[in-house]
Structure 1
């Protein structure tokens, strides 16, 4: 029965060990660990040192263990109940018992699964907590091990040796034990120390040592023995530094000594890599990558001689491998490399890389040329060798070599083009014709031919060559890639080949473009060329597009703006003359033409253009006002009045009446201006600027009640006009009626919700009235209603106390990153903090983002006036004049003032910079 049970498979065989299981723990074993895990330093709760024997066991424990061992045999094993047997082994195990056990097992399994995730999570947390509280020494020193990569060789060698941490008995357990010396050795030593007196043959006495009757002394062996004895003494002394016993380095520095200083990796990885590569080399000795990898491994770890030996062995095993020879030439010194490359060339005479390497190893130009010529004898069809050899020659020799090169490499476009560049005009044409015969599918040869004709003045041939190129390439089944040709055109433009570039544009711009998308595609192409500074290409694209669609107004405008920004006055006027002829109803083109003549000083020509514009657009408001501005700027006020009178009759609009009244106001005819305003309001009562002008005219005459009535009537008619509400509130503020102004602004906000300008004026009203808490409250409400308003965020920055302004500015930039008002506020903040360089950068960023904001230019100019040089001030003034800003709260106070109507942009900038306040 026992034998049958023993043959059955054990139930626990093949199963994983239980959690925390230690082999032999039940028999008194305590497990084991290595010093690489814990090092010689131990903590109080660690496993005891194996050197101390465990205490002897009691007799009762020994007997109990023997009884337990007796029970754990195969004869006592039961398949159902295990080694212990059953408590009820006499009762039979029936089917009901089996079903009950299955039910209990299922319940246990179910209960275990319910709390399995929680139990595993808790166990994981306990393990992590234990590791955090009691990390391994290896983990504690991990950061120090990483820093060893920065330790120099001298610092490493200066580290003192550390002794053994063990005490003297542990280091040398037999130090106190003496071994007796045999009597024979003692007797021999005594005899060797005795003195003997003998009679010399000369008649005297001499005393010698009995033990000195030996042959000649071996001084080499004595020196070796002395060195050995000294080494032993030094080893003993190394156990103590400054008289104190120190820790054994073998524990703490076990891992540190296994690091290679030159490599920085683990020496075990290097050993594994060596074994693997050695296996590869032995398995397939003719595999070149194995030898190269082995050599590079040794090079990385700093063993250059081993690397050189390996790669030289590789050249013997793989003599036909180009890479192995090149690696050998790289690893060996230059003098030896020349010989290596010479052997390599003998083995591989057709290797281009080896010949180039051989030339690189030569230091003299003559030797390099000799190597290349010998290489070309072996490989005459190598384009790379020809190019390298030609680069070393002068122009005449290079032309001769190129003549030979194109014969050997007939399919190399680069060589044909290089030869054409060096030849004369007639010979270059012949060369390019031969190139086209040999390579009929390359476009660069045709483009080179067009450039050649353009350079020699044959401009008529350029278009013909490009046209023939397209047809020839299509005949040879070459795909005409539009983008590639456009790229070639841009390169021609940058190289100064204008006619070639224009010819390419005319021939390929219409390819692969649908008729419906032509204008959009060509506009994008022109803008792309403009961005790459290929202005001739863009001009050619506009010209082609306008020739196809001569009545396309948007294309004419795009071309006109292009000429205005990147052309000259003559080209702009020529284009505009054609534009107004094809699009006479486009007012902007007429105005641009007239302004161009006016800026050039040709006032009579500008009048003539406007007269033609009147004929094409008799009731155009823009043309009427442009004519009025032309006359008023040239101090022809009577002519301007007549034009405005005609405009009020033939093309009456609110704007025409407003301009007419403004002209009279500028000429100090206030009553006449007020009369024109009232006349205009009869027909255009909803035009807000007329109401604004009426109120302002009354304010000029100090008729504040009439002005108040005008504003009241205006806000009833134009309740959505924010400037009108602001003028009304400002009038009350100037009259000292703050409560009424507050009421007006509240009414304006109710009529125009979510308007940041009204909120801004309400906040400033309270702040200027020393009602800071109310101002903060209004600001909070405004931010809720208009969270993305830049003017509110800019005001909020300086509403805060100084310590909180920086934080507020960061929030403002997050909410309104691209808002010019926020950028201006941040610039002023840096200025107030005396961060000059940062303030200058932010001012520059602000005016670049929106050059139309006059306040930014004014603050920028005042900043440079205080902290910049004269050159920087002039630069800001010049850029402002080019930008011609028209908006800005402080800027409009100057520009809209009727007394400053004749001022230029630079003069407005100076006056505005004088009135603005320095941020504090």
Structure 2
């Protein structure tokens, strides 16, 4: 409805637009009846004030129009009754000339009416006795203009008003109906509500006393079994089962030589004749297997033989058929080509597999007579016979094949004593003096002295065998070993292992010729057309380190580290080589690579840092100090190297040495803020507060032109630690003039006033700080905590303003949630938490708070939701661990706490909870191990951890003391 148009003046417009007036049926009837009642009582018929604007009395039209607001655009009074707009002379000026209706639209409507006529449905089917003719009163061809829209808005407003009037009664009626329904048909949950409440009173002993429910299914099973109806299986199911149980067998694949494939899978048969023949064949196989090959007598029990046959399972006749086919095939091959030794071996193995050992021996011996030059057939014959007969066979084989090494080695293995083996091997060496295998087997059986003699003869017979030369050099004295290696280099000039062995020999004797030997080795090998492969020599260097020759390792690295490496890629490639060597635990190799790299790049800070880390992990204290002293000489502008050198001196108890290092660092880096702070920390840790205060004062003067915020901050912290509040205030005031954008100064200044109980001054300081540091979340939280002391409503307002300035910040949402929790308003806290998770759905700290705020029985479900959102968040992991702790699942608790401290070692709260758990449920060993891990990690963050570590009273505590105090202050999940 137009705000400037009186409703009572719209009634004529509705008539003209073919709409029924919204008040013609309801309001008009009510008003008429009300006027009649008043007339009968003699009362005035004036309308109420709230209705005077809607329904004016007769003769008051001009008065109402005079008091109404300005009419809508294009409004002409009385146009619904056929009046035309006109203007008078007095209207000239601010008067508005009414606009005529659009002639084009009017002509279109008139034309459409003339064409369509009256299309209403006046049939009896569309007539109702009470409603009249159905259909719309609005012309379907009419144009929907602004006045029609205004009329629709009026109807909608009336509907909304009527709906609002009935809403309360409707809701009350629905509530009563629902209550009546619950009384008539109560739910199971409501019926047992009182009993569920009483379950909290049940103790563990009462739970254990509840009897177990017996097994009531046995009677039911028996009943079902007696009434079970059996239906015969169909033929198709039986046929399928038969096919699945069929087994197809082939000839075993143990036939030697060239094996010829068999002809497909055998098909099952039901020929009784063939089955009988197969059974007879099986009986023969078992008789041959049980025959005594020595005395020719049988060990078969005649009484139990037939009984034993019944236990033999013949799957099908396919096995017998395949064996026959294989036998025929191999017989055919032997007859066709009798000199083909694999055919004889295959036939013998076939008979051996089926149990005909005698037939197998006969066949293999016949093959040995026909193919005496085949080494494999003699070896197979020895395998099929007993050891005594095998010796005779091998002796015969050696007559035909005196150069066969395998036959000699098998003959030596058949000997039962060492003397017999030596005798056989020495005879074999007489026949085969150039066989390295025979020499190795013979040398292994000898004593060192006899082995040295054999090796001397072996290198004469096989001068190209590097293994023999090296073995002889290891057995000789150092002087003779040098001679042996020199002879070996002459005999095998292309082998690098001889040169490396010579270098190791010199290192073991304490000589300094190692670099020269390696350099000469590379030169000699290159002259002999040997390609020097860098990766292979790097592996040789690692092998030399593992064998206890670090100098040889360094010499090899020095000579080959630069091979085939581009000049611009040297640093990168060498770092990769060193890291790879460290991954393979080759520390000396990595150290040698870094040493060579530093000789080429002496001014690279990154190389010194890597070497310092290597020495800190794998080296000694002296080696680390040497590296750092060398580093600060070559890189005097690298602050971190100076700090590392001073820290190592300090950690080793040399405080004066640390002061000397820092003084030298001051000379090289006069404008270094980090060095000044390191010197102050050194003096502060050693309780030299006056020296620390003097250093800070000098630093503030010297660093006026540079960024010295940390120096001013450390100065204020030192004064706060000593309790000098006035000096702290002066320093903070001066620091705020220099650095107004640093939120830490504003927080420290406000906290100073809080300690002095000047809350109004602290509030003013926080407000000033927020104007300069609007994006500082800790400053907002400090201001909110101050307001929370006096009024939670102020804290809520402040946090809401902070979230508007810094949206999607989990810490601000958490602070707002803590306000509601402190106010003991669980509904508001849950509502705030829901909004927070909607805005920050992946915040682990919010999900951890959600788990803690849930009821104990619902925390596990909330933990599952939290892990889905942020699986590797340490706050969520700690919250889940506390849930397991409350459920007394201690092994899982330890696992989840360990996972939390592994994911984020800097989270002090996780270490504290873990330590508290180990104190209550762990052993002394677990507690000490955890304490060492925490000290090594040196955590600095965490809500409870920072609260204790930043406390002035705990300024002297180390990591171990802070951990103990935080763990003691934490709540016990078992009591929550």
Same fold judged by TM-score > 0.5? Answer: yes
Match of 2:439 among 375, 386, 399: 386
Q: Among 350, 354, 357, which residue is 2:407 paired with?
A: 354
Q: Which of 592, 613, 620 is residue 568 of structure 1 equivalent to?
A: 620
Which residue in 2 is equivalent to 1:139? Answer: 241
Which of 684, 692, 698 matches 2:739?
684
Quote the offset at 1:281 in angstroms: 5.9
Q: 1:374 to 1:736 in 2, by over 3 A?
A: farther
Q: Do the aligned partners of 1:708 and 1:728 also contact (CA within 8 Å) in 2?
A: yes
1:633 maps to 2:685 = yes
Tell me: CA distance 1:498–1:684, structure 2 relative to 1, closer, same or farther (3 Å).
Answer: same
Alpha-carbon distance change, 137 to 516 in structure 1, aligned in 2, over 3 angstroms: same
CA offset at residue 607 of structure 1?
1.5
Question: Over residues 327-367 of structure 1, what are the superposed CA-to-partner deviations in whole Å (9 max), with x where a residue is unaligned?
Answer: 55455554554444444444433233333333333332222
Matching residue of 1:436: 489
Choose which of 597, 615, 635 in structure 2 pairs with 1:545.
597
Matches within 5 A, 1:63-102: none
Aligned with 1:413 (options 466, 471, 475):
466
Whether 1:467 aligns to 2:519 is yes
Q: Do 2:247 and 2:315's aligned partners in 1 also have CA atoms closer than 8 Å?
A: no
1-structure distance, mates of 2:678, 2:803: 37
How is 1:363-378 mapped onto 2 (pairs within 5 angstroms)?
A: 363-378=416-431
Q: CA 1:421/1:898 → structure 2, altered by over 3 Å: closer, same or farther?
A: same
Work out the CA distance in 1 between the residues paired with 2:616 and 2:431.
61
Could you say what secondary structure the match of 1:367 adopts?
helix
In structure 2, C-alpha distance between the alignment counterparts of 1:144 and 1:768, rounded to whole Å: 78
Separation (CA, whole Å) in 2 of partners of 1:538 and 1:845: 32
Shift of 1:583: 0.8
**Alpha carbons of 1:858 and 1:142: their partners in 2 closer, same or farther (altered >3 Å)?**
farther
**1:835-855 CA deviation, whole Å, 9 max, x = no partner?**
444444444444444433323
Shift of 1:743: 4.0
Q: Secondary structure at the match of 1:570?
A: helix
Taking the aligned partners of 2:741 and 2:455, their CA distance within structure 1 comes to: 82
CA distance 1:629–1:436, change in 2 (3 Å):
same
Give the superposition deviation at 1:390: 1.7
Asked whether 1:890 is paired with 2:944, we answer yes
Closer, same or farther: CA 803–406 of 1 in aligned 2, 3 Å:
farther
**Could you say if the C-alpha distance between residues 457 and 761 of structure 1 is closer, same or farther in structure 2, counting changes exceeding 3 Å?**
same
> Residue 504 of structure 2 aligns with which residue?
451
The 1:608/1:315 distance shift into structure 2, 3 A limit, reads: same
Q: Does 1:877 align with 2:931?
A: yes
* Partners of 2:891 and 2:959 in 1: CA distance: 27
Alpha carbons 2:247, 2:316 under 8 Å: kept = no
The 1:766/1:297 distance shift into structure 2, 3 A limit, reads farther
Alignment partner of 1:657 is 2:712: yes
C-alpha distance 619-266 of structure 1, shift in aligned 2 (>3 A): farther
- Matches of 1:880 and 1:794, distance apart in 2: 22
- Report SS of the residue matched to 2:568: coil
Equivalent residues of 2:884, 2:893 under 8 A apart: yes
Distance 1:760 1:448, change over 3 A: farther
Counterparts in 2 of 1:518 and 1:342: CA distance versus 1, 3 Å: same
Q: Secondary structure at the match of 2:494?
A: coil
**Equivalent residue of 2:653, what SS?**
coil
Structure 1 unmatched ranges of 5 or more:
1-40, 47-133, 147-226, 235-248
TM-score, scaled to structure 1: 0.67
Q: Give CA deviations for 1:48-82 in whole Å, capped at 9, x if unaligned.
A: xxxxxxxxxxxxxxxxxxxxxxxxxxxxxxxxxxx
Note the alpha carbon deviations across 1:474-501, whole angstroms, 9 max, x for none.
1112121112212121222222212111
Q: Which of 666, 672, 676 is the aligned partner of 2:727?
A: 672
Residue 727 of structure 1: aligned partner: 782
In structure 2, C-alpha distance between the alignment counterparts of 1:401 and 1:532, rounded to whole Å:
38
- The 1-side partners of 2:521 and 2:727 are apart by 73
The runs of 5 or more residues in structure 2 that have no matched partner are 1-229, 249-301
Shift of 1:707: 2.9
Q: Give the structure 2 partner of residue 404 of structure 1.
A: 457
- Identify if the C-alpha distance between structure 1 residues 401 and 665 changes in structure 2 by more than 3 Å, giving closer, same or farther: same
Count of residue pairs brought into register by the alignment: 685
Kindly state the Cα deviation for residue 408 of structure 1 after the two structures are TM-superposed: 1.8
**1:708 and 2:763 correspond:** yes
Secondary structure of the residue aligned to 1:910 is helix
CA RMSD after TM alignment: 3.7
In structure 1, what is the Cα distance between the partners aligned to 2:352 and 2:675?
82
Name the structure 2 match of 1:906: 960
TM-score, length of structure 2 as denominator length: 0.64
How much has 1:303 moved relative to structure 2? Answer: 7.4
Q: 2:575 and 2:878 mapped to 1: Cα distance?
A: 35
Tell me: CA distance 1:297–1:754, structure 2 relative to 1, closer, same or farther (3 Å): farther
Please give the alpha-carbon distance, in whole angstroms, between the structure 2 residues aligned to 1:701 and 1:813.
Answer: 44
Q: Is the 8 A contact 1:654 1:690 kept in 2?
A: no
Distance 1:746 1:416, change over 3 A: farther
Q: State yes or no: 1:604 paired with 2:656.
A: yes
- Asked whether the equivalents of residues 258 and 267 of structure 1 are also in contact (C-alpha less than 8 Å), the reply is no
User: Which of 581, 590, 601 is equivalent to 2:642?
Assistant: 590
Structure 1 position 685, deviation (Å): 1.5
How many Å separate the matches in 2 of 1:773 and 1:827? 26
Q: Judge which range, 324-333 or 694-703, deviates more.
A: 324-333
* Contact 1:763–1:778 (8 Å) recurs in 2: yes
The offset of 1:391, in angstroms, is 1.9
1:534 corresponds to: 586
* C-alpha separation in 1, matches of 2:346 and 2:808: 72
CA distance in 2, matches of 1:356, 1:284: 30
* Alpha-carbon contact 1:453-1:461 (below 8 Å) kept: yes
Note closer, same or farther for the CA distance 1:763–1:350 as it changes in structure 2 (3 Å cut). Answer: farther
> What SS class does the counterpart of residue 381 from structure 1 fall into?
coil
In the alignment, what sits opposite 1:258?
Answer: 315
Q: Deviations over 1:7-51 (max 9, x none)?
A: xxxxxxxxxxxxxxxxxxxxxxxxxxxxxxxxxx995764xxxxx
Distance 1:759 1:267, change over 3 A: farther
TM superposition shift of 1:787: 5.0
Match of 2:672 in 1: 620
Preserved contact between residue 505 and residue 537 of structure 1 (Cα < 8 Å): yes
Residue number in structure 1 paired with 2:888: 834
Displacement of 1:889 after TM fit?
A: 2.9
In the aligned structure 2, how far is the partner of 1:494 from the partner of 1:500?
11
Displacement of 1:584:
0.8
CA distance 1:283–1:822, change in 2 (3 Å): farther
Residue 314 and residue 568 in structure 1: after superposition, are their counterparts in 2 closer, same or farther (change >3 A)? same
Does the 8 Å CA contact 2:915/2:930 hold for their aligned counterparts?
Answer: yes
The 3 A distance-change label for structure 1 pair 778 and 348 is farther
Contact 1:489 1:501 in 2 (8 A): yes
Tell me the distance in 2 between the aligned counterparts of 1:809 and 1:291.
74
Aligned to 1:480: 532
* Match runs of 1:294-313 below 5 Å: none
Distance 2:882 2:330 in 1: 67
Residue number in structure 2 paired with 1:64:
none
Q: Aligned in 2, Cα 1:714/1:259: closer, same or farther, shift over 3 Å?
A: farther
Q: Aligned partners of 2:362 and 2:737: how far apart in 1?
A: 106
SS in 2 for 1:516: helix
Q: Deviations over 1:364-423 (max 9, x none)?
A: 222222232222222222222222222222211121111112122222222211111110
